[in-house]
Amino acid sequence: MWREQYEFIVRNTAEPIDMQAFCEHACEKGGESILKTIYAHASEIISNVYQHAPSGEKHTVKWFYDCRAVGNEFQVAVEDDGVGIFESLMKSYGSELPLETLLQPSNARLTHRGMGLSALLRDLDLKKVSSVIFQSPSGTVKMGGAASDSVPHSIAQGTRVVFTVPLWIRSI
């Protein structure tokens, strides 16, 4: 199981978001020099877990995160057991679209795509992020380098986002 490769910290949407604990964890794992870049993207991904979780006390969503150095890169993984990114986008924009199209900014139907996703894809283009993987039960979309090839091809429930940042990048 893929989660066994990580030491995931488990949270749920009934608890407040604790980005300070995330930052401390990232620094402990070797990401201090690129913390601003990591924080910018992880905070958006984690906010999306809360934003898209069903409302009400009985509908909490578990979510998990971990970070680790992989060679000359730093990998951040955030996973939840919610509906799934592609399932949500297909419901909103149509199931006939290929998964990759659901993530592309050029699709006129997707003008209200999240700021976090846009920023992550922009930094991928600028080489501040070297790879990104989006997974849900409907499939997997990998973008960028091969640093995340160890991620499995499927997920049974929810969403998994893994992004990799070069350790040499200077956080601004």
Burial pattern 94-131, b for ≥16 Cβ within 10 A else e, equals: eeebebebbbeeeeeebeebeebbeebbebbeeebbbb
Is residue 142 in a domain? yes
- Residue 31 CA: distances (Å) to CA of 60, 119, 152, 156, 162: 29, 19, 24, 29, 15
**Whole-angstrom distance, CA of residue 150 vs CA of residue 6:** 12
Assigned domain for 171 exists? no
Classify residue 66: in a domain, yes or no. yes
| Main-chain phi, psi angles of 117, to 5 degrees | -65, -45
Residue 117 belongs to a domain: yes
Note whether residue 172 is domain-resident: no
User: Residue 115 belongs to a domain with what CATH number?
Assistant: 3.30.565
**Highest-confidence range of 95-99, 149-153, 162-166, by mean pLDDT?**
162-166
Does residue 49 form part of some domain? yes
Q: How much is the pTM?
A: 0.83
Q: Is the model's pLDDT at 49 over the cut of 90?
A: no
pLDDT in tens, 86-107: 887 777 776 666 676 666 655 4
In a domain, 46, yes or no: yes
CA distances to 51, 69, 92 from 147, rounded to whole Å, are: 29, 11, 31
The percent of residues in the chain predicted with pLDDT above 70, rounded, is 74
**Total domains present in the chain:** 1
Instruction: Specify the amino acid at residue 160.
Output: R
pLDDT at 101: 67
Determine the pLDDT at residue 117: 78
Q: Is residue 54 part of a domain?
A: yes
Residue 111, domain extent: 2-166
157 or 107: which leads in pLDDT: 157
Which three-class secondary structure string do you get for the chain? CHHHHCCCEEEECCCCCCHHHHHHHHHHCCCHHHHHHHHHHHHHHHHHHHHHCCCCCCCCCEEEEEEEEECCEEEEEEEECCCCHHHHHHHHHCCCCCHHHHHCCCCHHHCCCCHHHHHHHHHHHCCCCCEEEEEECCEEEEEECCCCCCCCCCCCCCEEEEEEEECCCCCC
In this predicted structure, the answer to whether residue 111 has a pLDDT above a threshold of 90 is no
Least confidently predicted of 16-20, 36-40, 101-105 = 101-105
For residues 110-137, give the mean pLDDT. 81
